[in-house]
Amino acid sequence: MGKKKTKKQKKDVRQRIFEIIQIGSRKDIPSFAFDAALITIVILNILSLILESFEQLSYLSSVFKFLDVFSIIFFLIEYILRIITADHLYPDMSKAKAVFRFIFSFDGIIELLTILPFYYLSGFVVFRLLRVARILRLFKINSTYDAFHVIISVFTDKIQQILSSVLIILILMLSSSLCMYSVEHTVQPDAFPNALSGMWWAATTIFTVGYGDVYPVTIMGKIIGVVIDFLAMGVVAIPTGIISAGFVEKYTAIRRNQSDSEEMTGLITITVTPDTPYVGKEIGQVENKEDIDILVVIRDGACAVPTRTLKLKKGDSLVCRKSR
């Protein structure tokens, strides 16, 4: 009995830890404090990364070092706690599978990379920058249709169209590179040494960046450049239009669902029993007396048309709403 109680207590403790380290309600003070501490440390790491680049602040190097060590300890503890409570994150899996799933999930990989020993090697800035990705977790909210959910769902729904438009852009870039190579190679062998050398020029032209480091000098090359400019304005706009249309569709669907929910709000169900005064009464009489609208009558498992002259029977279920 004592062992069972101990196991239950351990389970309760792990459940509580899971609730704290996951995004929770602001009413849960420990969970809110943990979120606040996490976002504070992430922001301090970003500021530290920026301030360290100023030679005038070299005298604060010890402070930056302390922050680095403290951050690693904090993130390491968090990582261990997430592994311990992984089975609560994936309740449908065994504990071993849940741990494996978390370690190789996007969040798990990002968290691991931020505490690896590579932090102390040259190029450690890359791993420190990965800490910024942690801040994204704090933007998860409980609302079903939050902004991030909408963005992700739009890209998911339109992924095929987006990939198709990207393929069209790549084809245009390759065609542009080949065309420019064919007319510019003789004049500019250094700028266009091979068939793929014009890809950089094509990219800067199509995306209207135009750095000016590579450009056509022949008449034919300039004509091709103008044509590609016109094509680029239409081609680059394709994925933008697809994504914009996706947002419009998604928000229209959300508003429609919200409208439907508002219409369903306030519905009540009444069961006609011998104790109610509705037996044998017509729907019109009940509606006038109770100031309600009877939307559906369920009788013997089937839906009956709620005409005003339909008489109610014992066992009928009425779906109603208050008259406006």
Q: What band does 134 get if pLDDT is binned at 50, 70 and 90?
A: low
Q: CA-CA distance, 283 to 285, in Å (whole number)?
A: 5
**Least confident piece of the model among 133-142, 200-209, 297-306:** 133-142
Q: Provide the residue ranges of all domains of the chain, joining segments of one domain with +.
A: 9-139, 159-262, 266-322
Top pLDDT among 112 and 183 is at: 183
Q: What are the CA-CA distances from residue 179 to residues 155, 188, 201, 222 (Å)?
A: 33, 14, 12, 11
Q: What is the DSSP string of 246-268?
A: HHHHHHHHHHHHHHHHHHHTT-E
CATH number at 266-322: 3.30.70.1450
Rg of the chain over all Cα atoms, to the nearest angstrom: 32
Q: pLDDT digits over 22-50, tens only?
A: 765 567 788 888 888 888 888 887 788 77
CATH 1.20.120.350 fits 9-139, yes or no: yes
CB neighbourhood size of 102 (10 A): 21
Supply the pTM of this predicted model.
0.50
Report whether pLDDT(321) > 80. Answer: no
Tens-digit pLDDT profile for residues 161-171: 888 888 988 99
pLDDT greater than 70 at residue 248: yes
Amino acid at 68: D
84-93 residue pLDDT tens: 988 888 888 8
Q: What is the pLDDT of residue 113?
A: 74
Tokens 């016109």, residue? 230
CATH pick for 159-262 out of 3.40.50.150, 3.30.2130.30, 2.60.40.2380, 1.10.287.70: 1.10.287.70
Q: What is the pLDDT of residue 215?
A: 85
∠ Cα 312 313 317 (to 5°)? 80
- How much is the mean pLDDT over the chain? 78
Minimal CA–CA distance to 294: which of 255, 268, 256? 268
Half-sphere exposure of 322 (CA within 13 A, CB side): 3
Would the CATH topology of 9-139 be identical to that of 266-322? no
| Half-sphere CA count of 173, side-chain side, radius 13 A | 19
Cα–Cα distance between 42 and 39 in angstroms, integer?
Answer: 5
User: C-alpha 127: how far from its chain's center?
Assistant: 23
Got the DSSP string for 264-308?
HTT-EEEE--TTSTTTT-BHHHHHHHHTEEEEEEEETTEEEP--T
Contact 180, 224 (CB under 8 A): yes
* The pLDDT of residue 143: 39
Q: What is the mean pLDDT of residues 272-276?
A: 77
CA distance 67 to 90: 33
Q: What pLDDT band is residue 128 in, cutting at 50, 70 and 90?
A: low
Distance of alpha carbon 144 from alpha carbon 122, whole angstroms: 43
Which alpha helices (H) appear in the chain, and where do they start and end?
Answer: 2-21, 29-51, 61-84, 86-89, 95-103, 106-113, 124-129, 131-134, 147-157, 159-184, 199-206, 219-264, 283-290
Q: How far apart are CA 300 and CA 42, in angstroms?
A: 62
